[in-house]
Structure 1
Amino acid sequence: MAHALIFFLVAHPLIFLSNPVAIFAAESTNKSEIDRQALLFFRDGITIHPLGVLSSWANGSTYCNWEGLVGELSPSLANLTSLARLDLGNNLFSGAIPKDLGNNMPLSTLILSRNNLTGQIPATLFANATSLTTVDLQQNSLTGVIPQFDKVTSLKYLYVTENLVSGSIPPSIGNVSSLHFILLDQNMLTGSIPENLSFNRLSGHVPLPLYNMSALKYFSLGRNGLHGQLPSDISYSLPNLQVLVMQSTNLVGSIPPSLENASNVQVLDLSNNSLHGRVPSLGSLANLHQVLLGRNQLEAYDWQFLASLTNCSQPTKLSLEENMLNGSLPRSIGNLSASLENLFFGSNQISGSIPVEISNLINLTLLSMENNLFTGSIPPTMGKLQNLFILNLSRNKLSGQIPSSTGNITQLGKLFLDDNGLSGNIPSSLGQCLSMVQLNLSYNSLGGSLPEELFAGPSLSLGVDLSFNKITGEIPEEIGNLATIVLLNVSNNLITGSIPSTLSSCYALSSLCMEGNGLSGNIPEFFENFTLLEKLDLSHNNFVGLPFSDFFQNSTLVILDGNKGLCSSPSALKLPFCYDTIESKKHGVPNHVTLLLVVIPSGTIASILLLWFVVALWKKDKEAEQKSENFSRNNETLKKLSYDDILKATNCFSMVHQISSNRPGSVYVGRFKYDKSLVAIKVFNLNEPGAYESYFIECEVLRNTLHRNLMRPVTLCSTLDTENHELKALIFKFLVNGSLERWLHCEYYSGMPERVLSLGQRICIAADVASALDYIHNQVTPPLVHCDLKPSNILLDIDMTARLGDFGSAKFLFPGLIVPKSLAEVGGTIGYMAPGEKVTLAFMQTYNFFY
């Protein structure tokens, strides 16, 4: 029931959006002057309409011929007298909402959502259009206050989410007894939360009589500037309430006991406030699906609330993280409904052992109890949770061994047991968890050798952290199977032997930490081929050979101190200075100056030869140092670009240099003065609506993400051109293999040779794209959706590694954001096949990717 309710909430405003143009239902005669004038009022209020929907609306023409106007050509058309529905959602309209909208017409449905509308909501709208049942203005940039609702008595749906509306909630909203949905979240509303719903007061002591709103089902005020207490009589005033969302609303005080009487509530979200006191019993809420009370100051006392939840037949999510829950977790937790999928108890003060009965919750997909005071061992019965994808028990006081039964959770994707007191060996059964992408067992007392099975099955693409344990033995050759791993940390253990050559297959590594072990032998040269590597820490080991290349002289990237058998020249690293030949440097041989002092007899000739030898080496070192400084200076120049640099690199934005062009901007290939590498320069067309937003969302995405399969910028340029017009550009590394679109449909690109992707390449590209989507959906906070996934936005590097680019349409899913479930709401540009991000492989098949 709850899922259907939420789906209806999301889908309702989009039911009539199957057409890319605006849709109008008219109830008027063919030549109704009233309707024609009303539509012209609306047209004159829209300053920009890039999609051209309003271009056919001429003063002297009949409105029935206007583009986007839909009606039935039947005899009854002559009896229709006025406009009843206006739907212009999901366009690019700018400007203000016309003040005369709704005059002389019984307008019942107004949908202007997801545009770029500014200005205030006209007060005359609710005063004149008295027949309104639906008002959808969400996701615009509207300001001002919400007008009074004195005359709109039939309104059922009010959506003003994600605007810049301020002021207090209008008191007259309480007079609209027909309201079913009120969504005012993510605005700038102020004032206090009503203290009493029968006679409420906001700031300024304005009465808010909500006692008539018995039909209200969805009430959302989250993420505003409101404050105060939760109304004590909310269950009596709103008997049909099903969804109550007040997260991040500065709520104080306790949760009123009367909430137990709100028997129809299905979703309760009071997270991220300052609520205190005990968690109330919610057993009377038989239809409860989600309880979100995290990030408050709530206490558990006798944990009666948990026992009361056993009366709820279908809860799916219980979130109480970051509160003040203490005491032991009761065994009654195993009596909760088997429908429970997500359980959050992290960052509290819960002590005692983990109840064995928790394994009764067989449908759990996420169990998060990190940062508590749990003691004892991990129950062996945890292996019964076959649907578990995330298990987080980190930062507790657990002891004993990791149960081998954990390997029975074959769907396990992320396992966090770090910062405990676990001992024994790492169970080889974890190799059976083929879906595992992240493993953190750091800061324990685990011993034994690294199990080969652990690296033979799971991808572990998001990283493995086994640091600060007592692991012995050598690094298994199977480590090379982790081709997509981005982080590997085995530092501060007792590992010996050399670095296996198979590690060269792990080309996606961005961080590799092996410091504080007993590793020996030569440092492999293949590390300089790891183009994504940002940290290589091999310090405090027993390495004796250092490759001679600029890569290993980068002290910000490579850490090698604490290896007595290594020296460096020039001494950019914290290593002894080498006075040997270049050939000797390749093998890291001992210092030859000391050898000369021992072997050459004392005397004048020996002194002259020694002096000549040292001076010659000093000159070579200075030349190398000067070369390094020049290289650094060139890179620094690249980071600070002017309009002139962009102009020269693109040959004055020549069409010859242009790779692609669309509405937000164009991409050029070029080369800067001090750099030999080609770059792709994305210049935004700031004259186009939405270009600013595309630029800033791309910057925000690039600032918050880091993944081998995402396009990374070399730098950006925000300046003025010669005419003082703004120029904004992003500079990327030029990927020589172009876009996936050009490989799949080379016949549409003149001059392109026919190229065929092998089956292996196709599978690797699909895996790369899926890895990028998994990262932005599940690892970025808040989660990120691309919204424009298609072959032309997938670029291929020289080794055919796929990288996802063009995040100009992307969206962050902030807490409380209603996630779209209707295809009609999905954005994207031409070529986008929604919902590609959810079914990546099906998306590939749509383009005959595997055929």
Structure 2
Amino acid sequence: MKLFLLLSFSAHLLLGAYGFTDETDRQALLEFKSQVSEGKRDVLSSWNNSFPLCNWKWVTCGRKHKRVTHLNLGGLQLGGIVSPSIGNVSFLISLDLSDNAFGGIIPREVGNLFRLEHLYMAFNSLEGGIPATLSNCSRLLNLDLYSNPLRQGVPSELGSLTKLVILDLGRNNLKGKLPRSLGNLTSLKSLGFTDNNIEGEVPDELARLSQMVGLGLSMNKFFGVFPPAIYNLSALEDLFLFGSGFSGSLKPDFGNLLPNIRELNLGENYLVGAIPTTLSNISTLQKFGINKNMMTGGIYPNFGKVPSLQYLDLSENPLGSYTFGDLEFIDSLTNCTHLQLLSVGYTRLGGALPTSIANMSTELISLNLIGNHFFGSIPQDIGNLIGLQRLQLGKNMLTGPLPTSLGKLLRLGLLSLYSNRMSGEIPSFIGNLTQLEILYLSNNSFEGIVPPSLGKCSHMLDLRIGYNKLNGTIPKEIMQIPTLVNLSMEGNSLSGSLPSDIGSLQNLVKLSLENNKFSGHLPQTLGNCLAMEQLFLQGNSFDGAIPNIRGLMGVRRVDLSNNDLSGSIPEYFANFSKLEYLNLSINNFTGKVPSKGNFQNSTIVFVFGNKNLCGGIKDLKLKPCLAQEPPVETKHSSHLKKVAILVSIGIALLLLLVIASMVLCWFRKRRKNQQTNNLVPSKLEIFHEKISYGDLRNATNGFSSSNMVGSGSFGTVFKALLPTESKIVAVKVLNMQRRGAMKSFMAECESLKDTRHRNLVKLLTACASTDFQGNEFRALIYEYLPNGSVDMWLHPEEVEEIRRPPRTLTLLERLNIVIDVASVLDYLHVHCHEPIAHCDLKPSNVLLDDDLTAHVSDFGLARLLLKFDKESFLNQLSSAGVRGTIGYAAPEYGMGGQPSIHGDVYSFGVLLLEMFTGKRPTDELFGGNLTLHSYTKLALPEKVFEIADKAILHIGLRVGFRTAECLTLVLEVGLRCCEEYPTNRLATSEVAKELISIRERFFKTRRTPRR
């Protein structure tokens, strides 16, 4: 017994001597906590000396030594840095810090955790590279660092982690080459390097990874032929190499070498040669994409031997030879009973469409045969494909009428048959396809009338039936399709007048009725189509004057030429700021041509062929307008002339009095400005640097347009490198000529001077001075956020090429952004020194830093709610001319409601819906009773993919039930924020909580390679 006690005591001393006690863990974790930013959630509140270590939340201890073995902090919205003290928790087996906002570097001390088996640090803001010391964690099984701005290269020392099973280093901006030492990771099953800047060739040493199941190398800068090492990875199930720059051809025995592939995506490379026939030996193959390459040699019928095939995309490859034998593979695909997508567009296929196409899988959702040389008629039984949602047969040589069985495709949303040789009437059964959104029948030989039944397609967005042989009038039923964005009926023999109901198409962006036989007056209701951008009515017999369409301020192209229009040319065309083309030629217009605004540019305005027009600018080469003869002066007119002189003298004296008053006011205002200049810095005493107008002028190169990065209601933002700063800043110069600019300046200063939150844009200093001409000058200097605004990322097509983002935002990135915004709103509304309402939340006011962390900006309309003064706020709004931004402002603001946190929640809800649908609340799609809110609500949950931003559903995302469920839950949060009555809206704390919960549920366990 004594010997046992002696041994126990000695063991205890040894443990204490080597530091192996729970006290070591306690102190290490307390030091770790001291470097963590918890926000207001206080999730680590149990980490203190009042609780036993093993009872701390998120901490798991071993049963034997009571030492910390598992630390699970994933998805807790923590910030700060990872303390090096974590390396002292020496019994750690699993460390999960993923889905947080940790910055700084990965401490090299993590390499001290020699017992570590699982290390998860994905979705953070860690930088500084991957520490080579991780190679000391010799027991490591899982290493997931996905989505961090780590940059630098991949350390070769990682090759010593021979037990590693999962290695995911995707989306880290890593550069350099793949180290050859990765070939030592012979236990590896999943390797992800997607979306980096890795270059060079894939090392041959990867051939040793015989247990590899998933490999993602997409979106890098590799060069050279298809990596021969991959052929040795016979266990591969998922292989993603799209957009990686590989060239060369695939081995003929590809399918024999990789017999277990489920998903194979080789799209957007430079591959040549034939598609290996041995792919049919891969019985497990579900998805195969090799689109946008240079493959040749035809499509062999072997794909029919792959019964599990769901997705086959061979489009945009020169595979066929425009001959009959090109379509033999169709017959075999009838064996693929689970096929959902077949895309062989632009593949040079020829021949008649086989009847067997109607016998393919009833699960087929998308059939794309566009841009080939198919001829003959569409198979009569095409309606057997009852699951079809997209049917694309355009740009072929198909003939005959539309088969009646098309009327069975009740789920069809897109029917594209343009540029063929189809004939017969447009059948009325098309109206039964009530889910139809896009109908392209243009450039065929259809005849007869436009069927009124098309009006039943109440979801129609785009209707194109131009360049056929149609006659009759435009059915009034088509004017009742509220969603219609594009209506194109040009190049037919349609007659009658333009229906007066045209004004009900408030979402109409393009109207093309040119080269028909229309006549009569243009209806006044045409001016109600406020979304109109393109109006083409040329080549008809319209007469009378141009109606009042001054409300079409967004119109870009207008062609009314070659009609019988008369009267004068409306002067309001001069003020259409977006006008690019106005053709009024060959009509009967009379009088003087306006010479202001757009009429000063003869390259966009055309008026020839109107013999009774005169005047205008010289380039129009019109005759001058004759001046009227002066009237003969009579005794009565002489008396009137004297009266006029006396009145003129009186007016002159009155003007002198007004001018004197203005001068006096100017002196008083200047004195007041000088007092304000002295006052403003006291409000800005927290700012560390005072700066002059001259400094800002020099730093922005004279406020050059080349330095301009944006503009808003009250000013312009420039990028600048200040002499007193070592980094680039953003300078917002207020337009002091704009009413309300001074109040906007003071609102931003007052709102931001005492606020501190990582998701607020940081106000560095301000300038209250005068310029070199003595004019009042105000500017705010912020930290510069290089990734621009969320608006720029959501709508890159509206941005100049040089400023467009390099890619689209992923589903998770969008979720992270809205969580960031919800977090900062909760801070402003609840946890700030005084509650603040932002009053103008929208995507252009959410900026992104290097790591795509969101920062809310532009507090020009913000209000401190405890200091709210209704009269002063209403004055500010009237002077600014806005109450937030149309589409984002809460409905109660439009009725004079006071600013509130509920109004911000509404704006946040609209922002969230836009983030995940890709549609602005002011999109041309919306009008009348259809809003972004109702559009989303009607689609959930069954049609969530139909309204989701298609950029999210890219090929690299596993689009399935979980994705649909995630999107649905997120959009439902947005809908609950957009409730009409303010008190029914969610609180920002609830919003943040629900969104974080969604992120944890759908992304926390994601450990497979990201493609």
**Normalising by structure 1, what TM-score?**
0.69
The range that moved more, 62-71 or 316-325, is 62-71
Q: Quick check: 1:31 aligned with 2:31?
A: no
Deviation at 1:340, TM superposition (A): 0.5
Which aligned pairs between 1:688-837 and structure 2 lie closer than 5 A?
A: 692=788, 694=790, 697=793, 700=796, 702-703=798-799, 735-736=882-883, 743=890, 751-752=898-899, 777=917, 784=918, 812-813=951-952, 815-818=954-957, 835-837=969-971
Closer/same/farther in 2, CA of residues 665 and 839 from structure 1, 3 Å limit: closer
Partner residue in 1 for 2:551: 529
Evaluate the alpha carbon distance shift between residue 567 and residue 185 of structure 1 in structure 2; reply closer, same or farther with a 3 A threshold: farther
Give a deviation string over 1:721-763, Cα, whole Å, max 9, x none.
Answer: xxxxxxx99999964465778646889x99549999xxxxx9x
Question: How is 1:59-138 mapped onto 2 (pairs within 5 angstroms)?
Answer: 70-72=58-60, 78=66, 80-81=68-69, 82-125=91-134, 128-138=137-147
1:226 aligns to what?
246
Structure 1 distance, partners of 2:522, 2:623, is 24
Pick which of 544-553 and 59-68 moved more: 59-68
1:465 and 2:562 matched: no
Specify which of 260, 270, 277 is matched with residue 297 of structure 2.
Answer: 277
Select the residue among 221, 239, 248 that pairs with 2:268: 248
Deviation at 1:73, TM superposition (A): 6.8
Kindly state the Cα deviation for residue 363 of structure 1 after the two structures are TM-superposed. Answer: 0.5
Partner of 2:351: 327
1:454-603 → structure 2 map (5 Å cutoff): 454-456=478-480, 458-525=481-548, 527-546=549-568, 548-552=570-574, 556=580, 558-571=582-595, 572=599, 573-575=605-607
Letter in 2 for 1:518: S
Of 776, 779, 783 in structure 2, the residue corresponding to residue 686 of structure 1 is 783
Equivalent of residue 196 in structure 2, options 162, 187, 196: 187
**Contact 2:265 2:289 survives alignment (8 Å):** yes
8 Å CA contact 2:286–2:309 kept in 1: the answer is yes
- Residues 262 and 285, structure 1, Cα contact 8 Å, conserved in 2: yes
Matched residue, 2:328? 304
Partner SS for 1:651:
helix
Tell me how far apart the structure 1 counterparts of residues 29 and 479 of structure 2 sit (CA, whole Å): 69
Q: Deviations over 1:610-667 (max 9, x none)?
A: xxxxxxxxxxxxxxxxxxxxxxxxx9x9998876852635439623368987835499
Bigger mean CA offset, 103-112 vs 208-217: 208-217
- CA-to-aligned-CA distance 1:652-709 (integer Å, 9 cap, x gap): 9623368987835499xxxxx9xxxxxxx9989436x78656586378364289xxxx
Relative to the length of structure 2, the TM-score reads: 0.59
Partner of 1:358, secondary structure, is helix
- SS class of match (2:448): strand
Distance 1:40 1:128, change over 3 A: farther
SS class of match (2:502)? helix
Structure 1 counterpart of 2:955, one-letter code:
G
* Residue 402 (structure 1) aligns with: 426
Contact conserved, 2:364 with 2:387, CA < 8 A, in 1? Answer: yes
Give the partner amino acid of 2:458.
Answer: L
1:264 and 2:284 are equivalent in the alignment: yes
Shift of 1:133: 2.7
Task: Give the partner amino acid of 2:734.
Answer: I
CA distance in 2, matches of 1:450, 1:54: 65
2:314 to 293, 313, 316: 293
CA distance in 2, matches of 1:428, 1:484: 20
The alignment partner of 1:381 has SS state of helix
Structure with greater proportional helix content: 2
Question: Partner letter of residue 816 of structure 1?
Answer: I
**Alignment partners' CA distance in 1, 2:347 and 2:623:** 60
Distance in 1 between residues matched to 2:410 and 2:542, nearest whole Å = 38
RMSD, aligned α-carbons: 5.8
Deviation at 1:415, TM superposition (A): 0.4
Q: Shift in Å at residue 596 of structure 1?
A: 7.2
Task: Please list every run of 5 or more consecutive structure 1 residues that lacks an aligned counterpart in the other structure.
Answer: 1-27, 582-589, 606-634, 668-672, 674-680, 718-727, 757-761, 778-783, 805-809, 828-832
- Range moving further from structure 2, 556-565 or 653-662: 653-662
1:651 aligns with 2:675: no
Partner of 2:809: none
> Which structure 2 segments of 5+ residues have no match?
1-18, 70-90, 211-221, 600-604, 616-621, 635-710, 719-730, 764-769, 771-777, 802-839, 848-856, 862-879, 934-948, 986-1011
1:508 maps to a residue whose letter is A
Q: Summarize the alignment of residues 196-235 of structure 1 with structure 2, pairs less than 5 Å apart.
A: 213-235=233-255
Judge conservation of contact 1:439–1:463 (CA < 8 Å) in 2: yes
Q: 1:552 to 1:119 in 2, by over 3 A?
A: same
Pick the aligned partner of 2:412 from 353, 375, 388: 388
Which whole-Å deviations, capped at 9, do the CAs of 1:400-427 have from their partners, x for residues lacking one?
3222222221211110112223332222
**Whole-Å Cα distance in 2 between the matches of residues 178 and 315 of structure 1?**
34
Query: How far has the Cα of 1:147 moved from its partner?
Result: 4.5
Q: Are the aligned partners of 1:320 and 1:346 in contact in 2 as well (CA < 8 Å)?
A: yes
The 1:435/1:128 distance shift into structure 2, 3 A limit, reads same
Instruction: State the alpha-carbon separation in 2 of the partners of residues 155 and 489 from structure 1.
Output: 62
Report the CA distance shift for 1:834/1:35 in structure 2 as closer, same or farther (over 3 A): farther
| Cα distance in 2, alignment partners of residues 32 and 352 from structure 1 | 83
Deviation of 1:470 (Å):
1.9
Q: Any idea what the Cα deviations from partners look like across 1:314-363, whole Å, max 9, x if unmatched?
A: 11111222222222222111111100001112222333322223221110
Change (3 A) 1:54 1:102: farther
Conserved 8 A contact 2:234-2:260: yes
The verdict on how the C-alpha distance between 1:509 and 1:251 changes in structure 2, with shifts beyond 3 A counting, is same
Shift of 1:164: 2.8
CA distance in 2, matches of 1:639, 1:654: 10
* 1:294 partner amino acid: S
Deviations 1:539-574 (A, max 9, x none): 222222347543356574643232223444434254
How many residues are matched?
720
Write the deviation string for residues 794-836 of structure 1: whole angstroms up to 9, x where unpaired. Answer: 9xx99999799xxxxx995484342687999999xxxxx9745
Cα distance between partner residues in 2 of 1:772 and 1:570: 44
Report deviation, 1:56.
Answer: 8.4
Helix, strand or coil: the match of 1:406? Answer: helix
Alignment partner of 2:799: what SS? Answer: helix
Q: Which residue of 169, 172, 180 maps to 1:160?
A: 169
CA distance in 2, matches of 1:698, 1:419: 34
CA distance in 2, matches of 1:528, 1:714: 29
Instruction: For residue 423 of structure 1, give the secondary structure of its aligned residue in structure 2.
Output: strand
Which residue number corresponds to residue 357 of structure 1?
381
Structure 2 residue identity aligned to 1:703: V
Q: Are the counterparts in 2 of residues 388 and 409 from structure 1 also a CA contact under 8 Å?
A: yes
Q: Which one has a bigger Cα radius of gyration?
A: 2
Given the superposition, is the C-alpha separation of residues 41 and 690 from structure 1 closer, same or farther in structure 2, using an over 3 Å criterion? farther
Question: What is the CA distance between 1:288 and its match in structure 2?
Answer: 1.4
2:449: which partner in 1?
425
Q: Structure 2 matches for 1:171-186, cutoff 5 A?
A: 173=182, 176=185, 179-186=188-195
Q: Look up the SS of the partner of 2:319 in the other structure.
A: strand
TM-aligned CA distance change 1:218 to 1:148, over 3 Å: farther
